[in-house]
């Protein structure tokens, strides 16, 4: 029964993806006569993984099935403007002196050209922002539900339901990530490590749903996560850590001159590695899946027989990569959390040495 449910889910998922891609192949010419438009795989893929001011599901001819999102623009010259993104009519209409160009809102003059004299700050609720808020709500609901069960039933009663699914993950992060890297201070950092693990995991899983946003494939999102981890790492440092960076012990003076800038640069490379690793892996998976789906329409432009003939092969590879991406969603959440714990542990390495020195076994005479 479980296997059939998974198969049904995968079939439904890729049917939706094919529907979204399939409508992009058909277009109308200037005379209104339907004709096959050339399918631009690169443009279609980038459109699906990019942020947007509307939640687009699919198109049927000129009918677009979307959920418009609120646009919030502040300009020192024009003041505050709040309206629905549907006012742009998918970039075809100017509204309140603004227009949509390549999913970016720009101020324009009376003739419709970009007005460089007007400064505009975009605080709109884009697809990534809305999905990120949904992920936060989901995370809060899950954790409060689990906490409520512990409050009602106590820690001695066997977990059940959602609690049974979440508790092993919490235990895993505590025993395999926090304790080995942070020692006796693991309780201080465990709430943060659990938060980033579940937050990244939920966003990774949401990004695999048809029509959803690829939030963790957005460099701004991963950059903010990396910046928060960077701040936590810096506040965890001590004199021993900075002493090893600015005056590495046990090496000749001339070697110190080489090591000091390298060690100092490493302080910034660590969060950069967190940022790029998560962004690159989550973006690559989506691009691979969409590339396999795009091959159907690329072959279809050559010949309808080739398009239909290659469809089973393309769908099979897409389903395989999709299943791999489910695993990658967990792996990337774990890697980001584990590396954060490793970097925090390295930042307070001197404390570990002091603890080890202060807890020696007594000498029996």
> Do both 348 and 206 map to the same domain?
yes
Task: Choose the final residue of a domain: 99, 124, 149.
Answer: 124
DSSP symbols for 54-94: EEEEEEETTEEEEEE-EEEEEETTTEEEEEEGGGGTTTTS-
> Do both 274 and 307 map to the same domain?
yes
In a domain, 183, yes or no: yes
How far CA 62 is from CA of 1, 65, 187, 229, in Å, comes to 40, 10, 56, 45
> Do both 184 and 299 map to the same domain?
yes
In a domain, 280, yes or no: yes
Residues shown for the chain = 365
Rg (CA), the chain: 26
For the chain, give the mean pLDDT.
80
In a domain, 10, yes or no: no
How far CA 92 is from CA of 82, 89, 189, in Å, comes to 19, 5, 50
> Do both 220 and 116 map to the same domain?
no
pLDDT top residue among 111 and 206: 206
In a domain, 223, yes or no: yes
Per-residue DSSP letter, 183: G
Taking alpha carbons only, the member of 154, 151, 147, 152 closest to residue 170 is 147
Domain count, the chain: 2
> Do both 226 and 139 map to the same domain?
yes
Classify 97 as helix, strand or coil.
coil
**Both tokens assigned to 215:** 């939030």
Report how far residue 97's alpha carbon sits from residue 82's, in angstroms, rounded to the nearest whole number: 12
- The mean per-residue pLDDT over the stretch 142-162 comes to 80
Report how far residue 185's alpha carbon sits from residue 178's, in angstroms, rounded to the nearest whole number: 9
In a domain, 303, yes or no: yes
pLDDT at 352: 47
> Do both 186 and 311 map to the same domain?
yes
Cβ proximity of 157 and 229 under 8 Å: no
pLDDT at 351: 54
Classify 348 as helix, strand or coil.
coil
> Do both 268 and 211 map to the same domain?
yes
In a domain, 346, yes or no: yes
pLDDT at 37: 59
Structural domain harbouring 79: 70-124
pLDDT top residue among 233 and 243: 233
> Do both 97 and 196 map to the same domain?
no
Lowest-pLDDT choice from 16-30, 130-144, 169-183, 214-228: 16-30
Classify 311 as helix, strand or coil.
helix
> Do both 199 and 324 map to the same domain?
yes
Instruction: Supply angle C-alpha 325, 328, 329, rounded to 5.
Output: 90
User: pTM of the entire structure?
Assistant: 0.80
- φ and ψ at 335, to 5 degrees? -65, -45
In a domain, 54, yes or no: no
> Do both 251 and 240 map to the same domain?
yes
Task: Choose the final residue of a domain: 56, 90, 124.
Answer: 124
Per-residue DSSP letter, 106: E
In a domain, 39, yes or no: no
pLDDT digits (tens, 9 = 90+) for 258-286: 888 988 998 899 999 999 999 999 888 88
> Do both 115 and 134 map to the same domain?
no
> Do both 217 and 96 map to the same domain?
no
Lowest-pLDDT choice from 48-57, 196-205, 236-245: 48-57
Task: Choose the final residue of a domain: 124, 141, 156.
Answer: 124
Cβ proximity of 70 and 56 under 8 Å: no
Taking alpha carbons only, the member of 202, 269, 206 closest to residue 233 is 269
């Amino acid at each position: 029964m479980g296997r059939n449910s998974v198969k049904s889910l995968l079939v439904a998922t890729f049917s939706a993806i094919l529907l979204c891609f399939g409508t992009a192949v058909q277009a109308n010419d200037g005379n209104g006569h339907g004709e096959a438009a050339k399918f631009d795989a690169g443009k279609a893929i980038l459109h699906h993984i990019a942020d947007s001011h509307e939640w687009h599901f699919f198109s049927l001819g000129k009918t677009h099935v979307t959920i418009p999102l609120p646009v919030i623009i502040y300009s020192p010259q024009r003041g505050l403007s709040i309206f629905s993104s549907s006012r742009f009519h998918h970039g075809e209409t100017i509204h309140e002196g603004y227009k949509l160009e390549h999913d970016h809102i720009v101020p324009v003059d009376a003739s419709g050209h970009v007005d460089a004299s007007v400064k505009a700050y975009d605080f709109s609720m884009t697809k990534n922002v809305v999905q990120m808020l949904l992920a936060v709500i989901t995370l809060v609901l899950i954790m409060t539900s689990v906490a409520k069960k512990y409050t009602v039933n106590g820690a001695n009663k066997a977990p059940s339901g959602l609690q049974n699914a979440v508790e092993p993950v919490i235990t895993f992060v505590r025993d395999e990530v926090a304790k080995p890297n942070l020692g006796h201070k693991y309780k201080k950092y465990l709430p943060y490590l659990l938060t980033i693990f579940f937050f990244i995991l939920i966003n990774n899983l949401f990004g695999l749903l048809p029509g959803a946003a690829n939030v963790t494939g957005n460099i701004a999102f991963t950059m903010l996560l990396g910046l928060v981890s960077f701040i936590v790492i810096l506040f965890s440092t001590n004199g021993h850590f900075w002493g090893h960076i600015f005056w590495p012990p046990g090496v000749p003076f001339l070697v110190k001159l080489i090591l000091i800038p390298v060690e100092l640069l490493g302080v910034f490379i660590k969060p950069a590695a967190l940022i790029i690793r998560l962004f690159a892996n989550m973006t690559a998976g989506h691009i691979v899946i969409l590339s396999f789906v795009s091959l159907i329409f690329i072959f279809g432009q050559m010949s309808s027989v080739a398009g239909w003939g290659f469809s089973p092969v393309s769908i099979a590879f897409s389903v395989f990569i999709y299943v791999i991406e489910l695993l990658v969603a967990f792996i990337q959440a774990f890697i980001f959390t584990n590396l954060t714990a490793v970097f925090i542990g390295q930042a307070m390495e001197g404390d570990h040495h002091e603890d080890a020195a202060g807890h020696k076994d007594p000498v029996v005479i």
